[in-house]
Amino acid sequence: MAPRKPAKPRTRKCPDCAGNGEITEAVRVGPRKGRATEHRQAAMCLTCFGSGEAPTTD
């Protein structure tokens, strides 16, 4: 009987983007702070840099 392969370690999903790698941001228009519109745009998650995996804290 052949030995089993070790299982891959499970990675946790990123808490900010829920494993998608993308988040939505409100669109702002106007000078300085601007006012938020009802429009949304996709942005890369800065916590996991788009990988969807939770960052390690070692």
Model pTM score:
0.55
In a domain, 5, yes or no: no
DSSP state of 48: T
Residue 39 lies in a domain: yes
Tell me if 34 is assigned to some domain: yes
Per-residue burial over 15-33, b = 16 or more CB atoms within 10 Å of its CB, e = otherwise: eebebebebeeeeeeeeee
Do the domain assignments include residue 27? yes
User: Which domain does 56 fall in, by range?
Assistant: 12-58
pLDDT, tens only, 17-30:
888 888 888 888 88
Does 53 reside within a domain?
yes
pLDDT of the residue at 57: 65
User: Is there a domain that residue 32 lies in?
Assistant: yes
User: What's the total number of domains in the chain?
Assistant: 1
Residue 3 in domain: no
6 within some domain: no
**Each residue of 2-54: pLDDT tens digit?**
788 887 777 788 888 888 888 888 888 888 878 888 888 898 888 888 888 88
